[in-house]
Structure 1
Amino acid sequence: MSFDWLKHYMPRGLYGRAALILVLPVAMLLAIMSFTFIQRHLEDVTQQMTGTVVREVRMVGDQVVGAETQQELIARVRPFLTSLNMKVRFPSPREVPEADGVRFFDYTGGVARDTLKQSLMAVRAIELLPDKTALIYLDSDLGPIELTISRRRLTPTAPHQLIVTMVFCGILMTAIASLYMRNQLRPITRLARAAKAFGRGQNVTYHPGGATEVREAGNAFIDMRARIERQIEQRTLMLSGVSHDLRTPLTRLKLGLSMLDEQDAEPLLEDVNEMQRLVDSFLDFSRGASEGEVEKLDPQSLITRIVEDAQRAGKPVTLLPPEGEGSAKLRPDSIRRALQNLIDNAVRYGSRAEVSVAFTPKSLRLRVEDDGPGIPPDQRGEALKPFARLDPSRNQNKGTGVGLGLAIVADIARAHGGTLRLGQSERLGGLCADIVIGR
């Protein structure tokens, strides 16, 4: 039997699941104990107490036999009334209620009523008054008889005390366990926040704490973060150094070519410019995805400025109307670099590009579409890897590039806690690149 449907009703957070683990067993234990107590203890005790009253009522009823008047009956039972703590009177027929006066939530009162009616056929009605008094109405040859006794002789006093005590103890134990569990869960949530921040390019202060296993996981995370930071730093230094060292000979080549005949120097100068673009790509990749500080801003305004700058540069780019509105926490410089790379790719492989922004309650989507050849579905994952080269037909007469454009965009999207998705444009038929970032 599958219980997958329960997943939709289970808490998703660690604190919610821990609370469920604590509260559910306690609640089930209290429910079972309460049911057992009510069914077995209260019911048995009430039946025993009511059985004693039944015998006393029968003794009073035996005195009716042979009595010719109501006064004679009262005279006969008077010696027993004091010891039985009972009162007897003959009410008028109009004073006798037609139905029992037992409240529906009075469980012990219902048990006493049922026991009396099953044991005494002459019982006509029973009333349990708020002042802890019980009235029992009997039929007799001399007319209806009203017996007044104390409610405490029929049912236990304050039967709910045990249940209240159990509930109070359960709540107290749950509160104590919750405080202890919270202290154990806090280090896990701190570790999760630190890992999430590091995934977005932020280095927050974190000190391992909690149980031994949590401390080991925290120390492993710190070691992993240090290794990744060293790797990124080494990559940045290597690419920056190589790119910087290449700039000097490229500059000398440009100066040398400027002294040659323009017609002879043109193809060589084009190669030098291509090398310059490759060096710039290396520098962009070496800077990483965490350039600039996180700011809360209006993405639509930022995208508008980026598109206007591209249009001034002569690129066929169009900005579509936004879908929704709102703000998001972004690194403006990184987002600008990512959008510029996507726009450059779009106009490089297609004749025009369209940029759009869409807001949802939980995410922000930045989309760039083109009318170029696109990327086949089986090559989209490979296209996001650094230095990846796709089918040569895609690069025909477009320059080979270095394969870092989409990798840089993917790094920037991950640094914002989002992702880069590649697909086919339904509007233009080419590539559709979406940067999806959580808000």
Structure 2
Amino acid sequence: MFLGWIKNAMPRGIYGRAALILVLPVVTLQLLVSVVFIQRHFDGVTESMTSAMAIELRFLQSQVNGAVDYEAARVALDRVTTGLELTTTLPASPMLPDDVKPFQDLTGRKVITNLREQVPDVLRISLAERRVVTLWLETNKGPLEVSFRRNRVSASNPHQLLVIMVVMGAIMTTIAYFFLRNQLRPIKRMAAAATDYGKGRMTNFNPTGALEVRAAGMAFLDMRNRIERQTQSRTMMLSGVSHDLRTPLTRMRLGLSMLDNEDVEPLIKDVDEMQQLLDGFLDFARSDAADVLEPTDPVDLLDAVMEDAKRSGLALTCIETAPAGTSIAMRPDAIRRALDNLVGNALRYGQKAEISLSVTDRSVRFTVEDDGPGIPADQRDEATRPFVRLDPARNQNKGSGVGLGLSIVSDIARTHGGMLRLGDSERLGGLKADLVLAR
């Protein structure tokens, strides 16, 4: 539980953690020096200085006790106090009810303790004034008030060491923080480049900084280049295969259409289905194509989808939309393809569909809902994989396909730094598909 509390209390950002790494040792060192050095050193200095003062106080007390009367005691005090730099009052002014030591006085307790131990007849000690010590001594002529400078019994400025430690610690920590920030800046740039790449943006990134950070940056660039090469290879392969097969299929269909035999009709239907499969492969290949990011208003995309649905007589309704005029960097052709797939998928397995759009500071979300059979929760992850067809969940007889529709949408969402979420539609009872794009 304690470790969990520490983990939750730790800063989340790398700058905050770096600052903690810098500040914690400095503060710990200052506390250690304060306790060990200041306490022991100044206690030793105070004890030595109060011992010397105690000798003078005892001598002063003996002069008063040895005098025959008050007048002789005053004469003796005047004779010795000038040389000892002491101020005396006999008879003394009214004593304080108790010793006085300000809270911020670091060595005051040690001064009072040592004086009482070495001068047993001390009645009261006052350290109320920062530069003066006043005490009352018991004599046979009554209480004797004695005042002297504070720096005669203790170092007058022990707090200066603390001030110097704090100020220098803050200065050195600030310098170290700026230096460390320069070392962490390449890591932030690499993280920003990785985030942009996850959103489909190729950001220029030049590895800099320490050797380890530079090595990590070079590894990131190599990984990004390998992914780009693999994506391009897959796109070219699927496009090439689909394009090469389209020509012989067209010749087969033309040849079959010239025959009058009724047995040819099923063959033509097979050729048409193969043509649809090739179109699906091409769409899947284009889902990773490096389209140019353009400032696009998502409301315009939604309006275009609704306009096409209206012309085609599709049962698609827009239930919610965002205010127009928002410009967001995205690939409009890819997003339009994804929306067409979601709408076509919804109307293929349902009687009607609804679409909505919401825009926030961090994301754009297109939602398509239908009244079809839906997809069980334990099969939704599998439904977004390529070439997967869920026969039990989605009635296979209502449409042909190769199982790439949701996979294409998922790939397009990932190239925009988002995701495709599948759930249950509370409004229509069928499938709810959220196409979430990062801003």
Superposed displacement of residue 152, structure 1: 0.5
Q: Evaluate the alpha carbon distance shift between residue 153 and residue 398 of structure 1 in structure 2; reply closer, same or farther with a 3 A threshold.
A: same
* C-alpha distance in structure 2 between counterparts of 1:69 and 1:155, whole Å: 34
Superposed displacement of residue 102, structure 1: 3.4
1:287 alignment counterpart: 286
Q: Evaluate the alpha carbon distance shift between residue 400 and residue 86 of structure 1 in structure 2; reply closer, same or farther with a 3 A threshold.
A: same
Structure 1 residue 133 corresponds to structure 2 residue 132: yes
Contact 1:356 1:367 in 2 (8 A): yes
* Superimposed CA distance per residue, residues 81-114 of structure 1 (whole angstroms, 9 cap, x where no aligned partner): 13322111247645x5445553211112343234
Task: Classify the secondary structure of the residue corresponding to 2:207.
Answer: coil
1:56 alignment counterpart: 56
- Segment drifting more, 46-55 vs 273-282: 273-282
Contact 1:323 1:358 in 2 (8 A): yes
Superposed displacement of residue 14, structure 1: 2.5
Contact 1:64 1:73 in 2 (8 A): yes
Task: Classify the secondary structure of the residue corresponding to 2:398.
Answer: coil
Q: Evaluate the alpha carbon distance shift between residue 2 and residue 78 of structure 1 in structure 2; reply closer, same or farther with a 3 A threshold.
A: closer
Superposed displacement of residue 11, structure 1: 1.9
5 Å-filtered alignment, 1:141-220, equals 142-220=141-219
Superposed displacement of residue 153, structure 1: 0.6
1:353 alignment counterpart: 353
Superposed displacement of residue 57, structure 1: 1.6
* C-alpha distance in structure 2 between counterparts of 1:39 and 1:97, whole Å: 28
* C-alpha distance in structure 1 between counterparts of 2:179 and 2:57, whole Å: 58
- Structure 2 letter corresponding to 1:35: V
Task: Classify the secondary structure of the residue corresponding to 1:161.
Answer: helix
* Superimposed CA distance per residue, residues 175-205 of structure 1 (whole angstroms, 9 cap, x where no aligned partner): 4443443343333333323322222222222
2:238 alignment counterpart: 239
2:418 alignment counterpart: 418
1:342 alignment counterpart: 342
- Segment drifting more, 263-272 vs 229-238: 263-272
Contact 1:54 1:120 in 2 (8 A): no
* Superimposed CA distance per residue, residues 126-167 of structure 1 (whole angstroms, 9 cap, x where no aligned partner): 13424x222223455545432121110121132123333333
Q: Evaluate the alpha carbon distance shift between residue 91 and residue 360 of structure 1 in structure 2; reply closer, same or farther with a 3 A threshold.
A: farther
2:79 alignment counterpart: 79
Q: Evaluate the alpha carbon distance shift between residue 172 and residue 127 of structure 1 in structure 2; reply closer, same or farther with a 3 A threshold.
A: closer
Contact 1:112 1:155 in 2 (8 A): yes
Contact 2:123 2:136 in 1 (8 A): yes
2:222 alignment counterpart: 223
- Structure 2 letter corresponding to 1:345: N
* C-alpha distance in structure 1 between counterparts of 2:152 and 2:322, whole Å: 76
Give structure 1 stretches of 5+ with no counterpart: none
1:278 alignment counterpart: 277
- Segment drifting more, 63-72 vs 13-22: 63-72
Structure 1 residue 22 corresponds to structure 2 residue 22: yes
1:368 alignment counterpart: 368
- Structure 1 letter corresponding to 2:19: A
- Structure 1 letter corresponding to 2:193: A
* C-alpha distance in structure 1 between counterparts of 2:350 and 2:102, whole Å: 82
Superposed displacement of residue 304, structure 1: 4.6
* Superimposed CA distance per residue, residues 259-300 of structure 1 (whole angstroms, 9 cap, x where no aligned partner): 788x99987766555444433332322223465444566545
Q: Evaluate the alpha carbon distance shift between residue 417 and residue 186 of structure 1 in structure 2; reply closer, same or farther with a 3 A threshold.
A: same
* C-alpha distance in structure 2 between counterparts of 1:26 and 1:314, whole Å: 73
- TM-score normalized by structure 1? 0.85
Q: Evaluate the alpha carbon distance shift between residue 43 and residue 401 of structure 1 in structure 2; reply closer, same or farther with a 3 A threshold.
A: same
* C-alpha distance in structure 2 between counterparts of 1:297 and 1:114, whole Å: 81
* C-alpha distance in structure 1 between counterparts of 2:305 and 2:98, whole Å: 85
Contact 2:92 2:136 in 1 (8 A): no
2:35 alignment counterpart: 35
Q: Evaluate the alpha carbon distance shift between residue 142 and residue 366 of structure 1 in structure 2; reply closer, same or farther with a 3 A threshold.
A: farther
Q: Evaluate the alpha carbon distance shift between residue 40 and residue 92 of structure 1 in structure 2; reply closer, same or farther with a 3 A threshold.
A: closer
* C-alpha distance in structure 2 between counterparts of 1:281 and 1:245, whole Å: 15
* C-alpha distance in structure 2 between counterparts of 1:239 and 1:58, whole Å: 106
Superposed displacement of residue 61, structure 1: 1.8
Q: Evaluate the alpha carbon distance shift between residue 122 and residue 214 of structure 1 in structure 2; reply closer, same or farther with a 3 A threshold.
A: closer
- Segment drifting more, 296-305 vs 362-371: 296-305
Task: Classify the secondary structure of the residue corresponding to 2:147.
Answer: strand
Task: Classify the secondary structure of the residue corresponding to 1:409.
Answer: helix
Structure 1 residue 104 corresponds to structure 2 residue 125: no
- Segment drifting more, 229-238 vs 191-200: 191-200
Task: Classify the secondary structure of the residue corresponding to 1:65.
Answer: helix
* C-alpha distance in structure 2 between counterparts of 1:422 and 1:182, whole Å: 42
* C-alpha distance in structure 1 between counterparts of 2:240 and 2:273, whole Å: 19
- Structure 2 letter corresponding to 1:109: G
Contact 1:47 1:112 in 2 (8 A): yes
Q: Evaluate the alpha carbon distance shift between residue 108 and residue 240 of structure 1 in structure 2; reply closer, same or farther with a 3 A threshold.
A: same
Q: Evaluate the alpha carbon distance shift between residue 49 and residue 302 of structure 1 in structure 2; reply closer, same or farther with a 3 A threshold.
A: farther
- Segment drifting more, 355-364 vs 227-236: 355-364
* C-alpha distance in structure 1 between counterparts of 2:292 and 2:205, whole Å: 20
* Superimposed CA distance per residue, residues 190-230 of structure 1 (whole angstroms, 9 cap, x where no aligned partner): 33233222222222222333344333333333332222222
Superposed displacement of residue 432, structure 1: 2.0
Q: Evaluate the alpha carbon distance shift between residue 206 and residue 181 of structure 1 in structure 2; reply closer, same or farther with a 3 A threshold.
A: same
- Structure 1 letter corresponding to 2:398: K
Contact 2:373 2:393 in 1 (8 A): no
Percent identity between the aligned chains?
51
- TM-score normalized by structure 2? 0.85
- Structure 2 letter corresponding to 1:39: Q
- Structure 2 letter corresponding to 1:387: F
* C-alpha distance in structure 1 between counterparts of 2:303 and 2:69, whole Å: 107
Give structure 2 stretches of 5+ with no counterpart: none
1:398 alignment counterpart: 398
Task: Classify the secondary structure of the residue corresponding to 2:339.
Answer: helix
Contact 1:124 1:139 in 2 (8 A): no
